Every structure is written in C-alpha cells, then in structure tokens.
C-alpha cells in the first residue's frame, strides 16, 4: 500500500541516491532492500524506490522488501512491490511473506496467486518465509508517520499535547487491533532495556501486574511508555495462521529464511527463529507433518535462494561447485528453541562444511576461516551490465 505521505527527494538527493546504489553494486552488492513498515523507509515513495531499483537492475541486482503493510493492507502493499519490479525490470524478493492478524488469515493463497500472475506477465518475483506462527518486530508501527517525523524528542512534545496524544493513541489502537484483535496476551516482550525483567512476559501480564484492564487503550499507553524508554524494544506478535504458513510453504516460489539475528547467548528472550528455523522445517514440516518432501525443503534452503541471488557455483551438490554441505540425521534433527527459552541450539546436525572445510562438527566449531567474501554481479564493473526493459511504464500523475 503506497504511503500517501511519502514524497520524492529533491533532484540532487535522488541523483545522490542513484550514485550510491551504483557505487554499491560496483563494490560487490547483490542489490538492495527496504523495510517499508519501519523508520526511515516508511517515508520512501514507490517512485523513489523505483529510481534506485532501476540502477540495481542495470547491474543484474535484485530488490528485497519487507512490504509496507502485512496486515489489512497486505494485498495493496504486495501490489506496490510487484509494480516496482514491473516498472524497472528489477528482480524482486518479497521478504518473509505472511498475513498478520485474524482479519487477513486466508490471504496466503491470494498472495501466491498475485505472485503467480505477475510471473506469468514476466515479473521475476519470489518470496521467502520463516516457519513460525509469530513475528518479531518493534513498536514503531503503532505510531503514524507524522508523529515520528523529526525523531523521538519531537514525538515527546506531540504526546504532551492532549489532542495529539489522543490522535496518536487512536491510530495505535487500530494498528494493534489489526494484529492481535483485543488480546494483549499475544504480545510477548523479547528485549526491553527499560526493564529487562519484562523480557519473556506478555503485555497482558504487565498490565495485570499494574492493576490495569487488558484494553487496547491501556495497551497503547504501555506501548508509548516502552517506545519512549527504548526505541529498540523488540516484541513477538503471536498472530499468524498455520494454514496460511503451509500454503506459502508448499509454493515452489517461496524459499526458507530465519529473518533472525546473531544473538548473544543467554541475553533477552529472542524469537526462537534465530536458533531453530531450518531444523524446525526439517523436523516439523517434513518429518512430522509431511507438508514437504526432504528434497523440496532442502531446495528451498539451498539452490532456490542461491539462484535468486545469482550465486554461481553454489547451492547444489555438483562437480565444480563450492563444497558447502550440511550433514544431518533425519531421525534426530530437531529445533529445541521455544518462545520462553530461545537460547537452545538444535540437535541432529553432524557436520557443516564450508568451501570444502569442516567448519562445525557435532555442535562444535572447529574452523572459523572457511568462509569467503562473495560479490554481486556488478563487482569491479565501471558501467551497467544490462539494459532492463520495464514491463509496464509508470503513469505520470
């Protein structure tokens, strides 16, 4: 869903953006990404993104995007991303495909239909996903763009105005309702510097401890308090539908990711995806529920993403390819991390081989220099490699 408040940069700013993208591609970048639900990307217009995407496309790069809305506006937001690819010819990756909140459960099949239709028209679009029924994000999306513009100190001034605070609260309550309905127990604190003892607890639990009813109004006041104290607050939303997940999982166009982060072992209560994503696919959705065959699951972890990124010579067990190999026991593979105790390593992975060297053996790192830097298609090039042809020209407003 295009943001009506987003505006194009000035000509000199846009020129600089395109120069930076070109320099990045020549330095070895594979493309670029956006997080359009987050600051500052929320302020970017589709036209601005297209200008940068056209440069990435000319070097054979791709565009990965966390689309602008994954709730009630998810279809419009997906359409915006597909339109950017159609207007520029850039290869498109929809990051962590999902439909968030009960109001849009069942949209997974509609999203896949949109992607399939776009591909039939020539748009090179794929998606990826993680195998969990909860997401991990912050509280920034609970605030309207105008409230966040200028930074947190300006936000504090706006919140001090009763009328503006009421507007901000009403917006936030609606955003929260789209995600969790009326149930604050679906929000779990992953990391909060304002009070680390809250990590692992739900918003409903914290409100109850304060003697407050679990209403959206009280929840939004808690969100405001936490955001002002720690803009990097990380929370887990339990609001995805298993049937949607399986529909996306079965598509040959969707690869697997973790969307996780490198964790300091034992700190906070992070999303378990940082520890267990790929073993969870193999244990739960291959070994237990038979959603996928082992071969298809492995393809979605290896050759499919390697092909999308243009990683020549990787992603397959093939003569002449880099020997990047994971050896696991299909009878023992298991993710152990959960939402209350995420700091647990998986079981059943015997060897990790990187570039022909054993990097990890039975859960123990034995070689730390097996990796190497990989470069994108524009590395070392002084001019674009391609002249991508847009499938659709943008209509002038």
Q: Would the pLDDT of 274 be above 70?
A: yes
Q: Which two tokens stand for residue 106?
A: 């069942």
Q: How far apart are CA 216 and CA 182, in angstroms?
A: 7
Q: Is residue 167 part of a domain?
A: yes
* Residue 318 CB neighbours (<10 A): 10
Q: Is residue 27 part of a domain?
A: no
Expressed as residue numbers, the domain containing 163 is 136-237
Q: How far apart are CA 136 and CA 48, in angstroms?
A: 27
* Residue 26 CB neighbours (<10 A): 17
- Each residue's pLDDT tens digit, 164-187: 999 999 999 999 999 999 999 999
What pairs with residue 63 in β-bridges?
Answer: 32, 92
- Each residue's pLDDT tens digit, 32-74: 999 999 988 999 999 999 999 999 999 999 999 999 999 999 9
Q: Are both 233 and 317 inside the same structural domain? A: no
Q: Are both 232 and 299 inside the same structural domain? A: no
Q: Are both 307 and 359 inside the same structural domain? A: yes
Q: Is residue 125 part of a domain?
A: no
Q: Are both 232 and 274 inside the same structural domain? A: no
Bond into 92 cis (ω within 30):
no
Q: Would the pLDDT of 390 be above 90?
A: no
Q: Are both 369 and 294 inside the same structural domain? A: yes
Q: Are both 227 and 275 inside the same structural domain? A: no
Residue that terminates a domain, selected from 189, 215, 237: 237
Q: Is residue 102 part of a domain?
A: no
pLDDT confidence of residue 230: 95
Q: Is residue 339 part of a domain?
A: yes
Q: What is this structure's pTM?
A: 0.92
pLDDT confidence of residue 387: 86
Q: Are both 145 and 199 inside the same structural domain? A: yes
Q: Is residue 165 part of a domain?
A: yes
* Residues 191 and 270 sit within 8 Å (Cβ to Cβ): yes
How many folded domains does the chain comprise?
Answer: 2
Q: Is residue 214 part of a domain?
A: yes
Q: Would the pLDDT of 397 be above 60?
A: no
Q: Is residue 227 part of a domain?
A: yes
Percent of the residues in the chain that have a pLDDT greater than 70, as a whole number = 97
Average pLDDT, rounded, for the chain: 94
pLDDT confidence of residue 395: 63
Give φ, ψ of 350 to 5 degrees: -85, -45
Average pLDDT over residues 134-156: 93
pLDDT confidence of residue 393: 74
Burial of 387 (0-12, 13-18, 19+ CB in 10 A): exposed
**Among all chains, which residue has been given the structure tokens 């195998």?**
131
Percent of the residues in the chain that have a pLDDT greater than 90, as a whole number = 90
pLDDT confidence of residue 6: 59
Average pLDDT over residues 297-323: 96
Q: Are both 291 and 222 inside the same structural domain? A: no
pLDDT confidence of residue 396: 58
Q: How far apart are CA 354 and CA 62, in angstroms?
A: 25
Residue that terminates a domain, selected from 214, 237, 260: 237
Q: How far apart are CA 218 and CA 224, in angstroms?
A: 10
């Amino acid at each position: 869903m295009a943001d009506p408040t987003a505006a194009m940069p000035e000509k000199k700013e846009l020129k600089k953006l395109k120069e930076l993208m070109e320099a990045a591609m020549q330095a070895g970048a594979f493309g670029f990404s956006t997080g359009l639900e987050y600051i500052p990307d929320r302020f970017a217009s589709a036209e601005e993104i297209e200008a940068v995407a056209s440069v990435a496309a000319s070097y054979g790069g791709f565009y990965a995007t966390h689309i602008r809305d994954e709730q009630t506006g998810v279809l419009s937001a997906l359409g915006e991303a597909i339109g950017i690819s159609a207007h520029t010819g850039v290869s498109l990756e929809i990051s962590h495909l999902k439909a968030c909140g009960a109001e849009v459960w069942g949209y997974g099949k509609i999203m896949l239909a949109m992607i399939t239709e776009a591909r039939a028209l020539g748009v090179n679009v794929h998606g990826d996903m993680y195998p969990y029924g909860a997401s991990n994000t912050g509280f920034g999306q609970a605030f309207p763009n105008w409230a966040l513009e200028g930074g947190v100190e300006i936000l504090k001034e706006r919140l001090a105005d009763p009328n503006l605070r009421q507007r901000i609260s009403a917006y936030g309550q609606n955003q929260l309702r789209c995600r969790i309905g009326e149930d604050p127990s679906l929000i779990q604190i992953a990391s909060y510097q304002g009070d680390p003892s809250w990590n692992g607890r739900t918003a409903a639990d914290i409100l109850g401890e304060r003697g407050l009813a679990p209403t959206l109004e009280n929840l939004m006041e808690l969100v405001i308090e936490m955001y002002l104290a720690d803009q990097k607050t990380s929370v887990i939303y339990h609001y995805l539908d298993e049937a949607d997940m399986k529909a996306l999982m079965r598509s040959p166009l969707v690869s697997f990711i973790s969307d996780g982060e490198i964790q300091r072992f034992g700190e906070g209560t992070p999303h378990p995806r940082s520890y267990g994503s790929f073993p969870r696919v193999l244990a739960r959705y291959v070994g237990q529920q038979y959603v996928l065959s082992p071969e298809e699951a492995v393809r979605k972890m290896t050759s499919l993403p390697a092909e999308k990124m243009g990683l020549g010579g990787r992603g397959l067990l093939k003569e002449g390819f880099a020997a990047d190999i994971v050896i696991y026991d299909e009878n023992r593979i298991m993710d152990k991390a959960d939402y209350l105790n995420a700091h647990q390593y998986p079981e059943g992975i015997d060897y990790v081989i990187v570039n022909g060297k054993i990097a990890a053996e039975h859960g123990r790192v034995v070689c730390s220099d097996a990796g190497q830097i990989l470069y994108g298609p524009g590395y070392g090039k002084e001019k674009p490699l391609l002249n991508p042809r847009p499938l659709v020209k943008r209509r002038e407003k």
